[in-house]
Amino acid sequence: MPEIHVVRKDNRHLYEPYFDPYFRWRHEIYVKQRKWMALDRPDGREIDQFDTEDAVYLFCIDNGQLIGAMRALPTLLPTLMSDIFPYLNIRGPIRRSDVYELSRIFVIPERRGEHAGPRVEMLLLTAIMEYGISVGLTGFTIVLESWWLPRFERCGWKAHPLGLPQTIDGMSVLAVLVDCDDTTWKSLCGQIGLTRPILTWRGLAGLNRLALPDISLPPPAFAQPAQ
Amino acid sequence: MQSLEPYWGRQALDFVDAIEASKTSASVIAQFERMIGNLGFHAYIMAGIPTSGQSLRQLTIANGWPTEWFELYNRENLSAVDPVPRHCFNTLNPFEWKDAPYDREYDRPAHSVMIRARDFRFHEGFCIPIHYDDATGAISIAGERPHLDPETKSALHLMSVFAHGRLRTLSRPTPVASGRRLSGIEAEVLRWAARGKTAWETSQILHISERNVRWHLEEAQRKLMTKNKTATVAIALVNREIML
């Protein structure tokens, strides 16, 4: 199964080799495929003003290859919603230490729609909940394409709309606040058959983490008959 | 596009808050009907789009079509020729019925559906596709002279998607009532137990250790709150967690 690594400013040096492919994949997916031309850069990398040292990344890595990723930004600092799409949020700005904003959620094309093992996108959606619970977050804001909403509903992500969907570059987009809680995480783990946390926190031993709720008992040390 | 007068935006958000707090499907449906009624729509349907071998009736989540139209539509299997559901497979965005493409000259069955719909005062309609990995559905609403300006369409889009989601959530059995779901491997191990295999035999078949097999059986037993392997298999079969 692929691994999902937490990458923050404290351990970023351990993941430097992954950043070049990461930014190139973002260019491939967001500029070349989705045609978000405002993000185009001549060096073939998609890096924006929010890729600062405060950004937290989840890298999904399989056999040493980056196959998917997600970015989380503190809402106390500028985000896509606050600086670029403020009109998508009519409930009022969200600037809270316990809410991060998710963006650039992707799985590389050849790893989409897999049926052997949990799907990579589901792994990422589960992993970010685990991250949020571990560091004490209660929610995530996201600017996303509207067609994601039924998928969120189906997998148990509770999304609260912050404004009306609007058409941007031919695609319906809206702003939501998603709950980050134990119930959602446990339900996701159950759906994809995870019996233990999935995140790798390499080089982050100094980080204080909150306990995760129990999703399964560890296997017994000795064989015990079932009956 | 920017800064629409947020009147309908606020209405739509209030609507979503209200249905998220609603505890019954009937209440969600009543609020949805009232809201679209205010916007000039008198009929709607929320359903999966049938593919071969499926009927619209079994895929319907909420049916607000006139009975006669729903019967006619099912009887003549019109979803197979209707350009509106067909267009849902080709777009992620909501669209007006009049923008669902078909060849007026050569696609007579499609044209016929659109004409017959007018008998039910479906002069204009709006359709919101719902896409999952393994299925496509839609929320389709119609009226004589409904509001279809950009802001209203945006509000309708939001309210419809959330009403549809809320109805699905309310119709799902609660986790407490249904117990925890078995993992894939737990179900697999139970299927072999149901066929009379011992833990050792199952371990050979699945290439895992016998200890692991016993562990999965115990986990399944714990989740289904049963006392022994026989009872676990029986309950898993009844709950359709495994099938033989």
The 3-class SS string of chain A reads: CCEEEEECCCCHHHHHHHHHHHHHHHHHHHHHHCCCHHHCCCCCCCCCCCCCCCCEEEEEEECCEEEEEEEEEECCCCCHHHHCCHHHCCCCCCCCCCEEEEEEEEECHHHCCCCCCCCHHHHHHHHHHHHHHHHCCCEEEEEEECCHHHHHHHHCCCEEECCCCEEECCEEEEEEEEECCHHHHHHHHHHHCCCCCCEECCCCCCCCCCCCCCCCCCCCCCCCCCC
- Kindly indicate the confidence band of residue A117, based on its pLDDT and cuts at 50, 70 and 90: low
Instruction: Find the closest chain B residue to A167 by CA distance.
Output: B1
- Is B243 part of any domain? no
> Per-residue pLDDT tens for A167-210?
998 899 999 999 999 999 998 988 888 889 999 999 999 999 99
Of B133, B165, B214, the CB nearest to A149: B165
Within-domain flag for B1 = no
The tokens for B114 are: 């659109």
Contact call for B6 and A224, based on CB within 8 A: no
Cβ–Cβ of A227/B215 closer than 8 Å? Answer: no
Q: Measure Cα distances from A107 to A101, A126, B206, B208 in Å.
A: 18, 14, 30, 31
Judging contacts by C-beta atoms under 8 Å, the chain A residues touching residue B92 are: 145-147, 171-172
Tell me whether residue B160 is in a domain. Answer: yes
- Kindly state whether residue B124 falls inside one of the protein's structural domains: yes
- Tell me how close the Cα of B80 comes to any Cα of chain A, in angstroms: 23
Distance from CA of A147 to the nearest CA of B (A): 6
By CA distance, what is B134's nearest residue in A? Answer: A113
Q: Under an 8 A CB cutoff, do B157 and A146 touch?
A: yes
Same domain, B88 and B195: no
Report the pLDDT value the prediction gives residue A115, as an integer from 0 to 100: 57
Q: pLDDT tens across B115-164, in order? A: 999 999 999 999 999 998 778 999 999 999 999 999 999 999 999 999 99
Same domain, B117 and B234: no
CATH assignment of the domain containing B25: 3.30.450.80
Where are any strands of DSSP class E within B70-113?
Answer: 95-96
Say if residue B3's pLDDT is above 60: no
According to DSSP, residue B124 is labeled E
Tell me the chain A residues in contact with residue B218 when contact means C-beta distances shorter than 8 Å.
220, 224, 226
Give the distance from residue A225's alpha carbon to the nearest chain B alpha carbon, in angstroms.
6
Contact: A146, B93; criterion CB under 8 Å: yes
Residue B117 and residue B103 share a domain: yes
* B116 to chain A, closest Cα gap in Å: 30
For residue A193, list chain B residues with Cβ-Cβ distance below 8 A.
Answer: 183-185
Q: Is the dihedral of CA B127, B128, B134, B135 positive or negative?
A: negative
Structural domain of B81: 7-172
Residue B148 in domain = yes
Rounded CA separation B190/B196 (Å): 10
Same domain, B155 and B194: no
Q: Which helix (H) or strand (E) segment is B129 a member of?
A: strand B124-131
Distances (CA, A) of B191 to B185, B197, B199, B227, B238: 10, 9, 12, 18, 13
Please indicate, yes or no, whether residues B90 and B56 belong to a single structural domain of this protein. yes
Domain end residue (candidates: B132, B156, B172): B172
The conformation of residue B174, written as its DSSP 8-state character, comes to: P
Q: Where are the alpha helices (DSSP H) in B76-132?
A: 83-88, 108-117
Q: Mean pLDDT across chain B, nearest whole number?
A: 89
| Chain A interface, Cβ < 8 Å to B | 87, 90-91, 113, 119, 145-147, 149-151, 153-154, 160-168, 170-172, 174, 187, 190-191, 193, 195, 216-217, 219-220, 223-227
Is residue B108's pLDDT more than 70?
A: yes
Q: What dotted CATH number matches A3-200?
A: 3.40.630.30
pTM metric for this prediction = 0.80
CATH number where B217 lies:
1.10.10.10
Chain B interface, mutation test: which of A85, A158, A164, A171, most B Cβ atoms within 10 Å? A164
Q: Report chain A residues whose CB lies below 8 A from the CB of B6.
A: 90, 163-164
Q: Confidence class of residue A18 from pLDDT cuts 50, 70 and 90?
A: very high
Q: How sure is the predictor about A227, in pLDDT bands with cuts at 50, 70 and 90?
A: very low
Work out the number of other CB atoms within 10 angstroms of the CB of residue B61. 18
Judge if B91 and B131 occupy the same domain. yes
Residues B92 and B163 in one domain: yes
**Contact residues, chain A, for B130 at CB < 8 Å:** 150
Distance CA B196, CA B233 (A): 11
Mind telling me how many Å the CA of A83 is from chain B's nearest CA? 14
Residues of chain B contacting A170 with CB distance shorter than 8 Å: 93
In a domain, B120, yes or no: yes
What does residue B194 show for φ and ψ, rounded to 5 degrees?
A: -65, -25
Answer whether residue A223 shows pLDDT above 70: no
Name the band, by pLDDT with cuts 50, 70 and 90, for residue B215: confident
pLDDT 10s digits, A61-76: 999 999 999 999 999 9
Same domain assignment for residues B150 and B43: yes
Measure A172 CA to nearest chain B CA, in Å. 6
Using N-to-C axis directions, what is the helix angle for B150-171 and A148-155, rounded to 10°?
A: 20
For B31-54, give the DSSP string.
HHHHHHHHTT--EEEEEEPP-TT-
B222 min Cα distance to partner chain A (Å) = 10
Taking only the tens place, the pLDDT of each residue in A209-218 is 999 998 864 4
| CB of A133 closer than 8 Å to CB of A197 | no
Q: Is the domain of B162 the same as that of B187?
A: no
Q: Which of B157, B185, B222 sits opposite A172 (nearest CB)?
A: B157
Of residues A47 and B54, more confidence is placed in: A47
Same domain flag for B84 and B99: yes
B127 inside domain:
yes
Instruction: Give a yes or no: residue B59 inside a domain.
Output: yes
B79 and B189 together in one domain = no
B94: which chain A residues are within 8 Å (Cβ-Cβ)? Answer: 172
Which own/partner pairs from B11-15 qualify as long-range (CB within 8 Å, at least 24 positions apart)? B11/B35, B11/B155, B12/A161, B12/A164, B12/B154, B12/B155, B12/B158, B12/B159, B13/A90, B13/A91, B13/A161, B13/A162, B13/A163, B13/B158, B15/B159, B15/B162
The first and second tokens of residue B58, run together, are: 């079994």
Both B168 and B130 in one domain: the answer is yes
The least confident of A168-182, A191-205, B75-89, B171-185 is B171-185
Interface check for B153 against chain A (CB to CB < 8 A): the answer is: no
What is the distance between the terminal CA atoms of chain B, rounded to a whole angstrom?
55
- How many structural domains comprise chain B? 2
Interchain pair A150, B165: CB under 8 A: yes
The Cα B227–Cα B225 span in angstroms is 7
Report residue A219's pLDDT band, with 50, 70 and 90 as the boundaries: very low
pLDDT exceeds 80 at position A79: yes
Do A44 and A24 touch, CB atoms closer than 8 A? yes
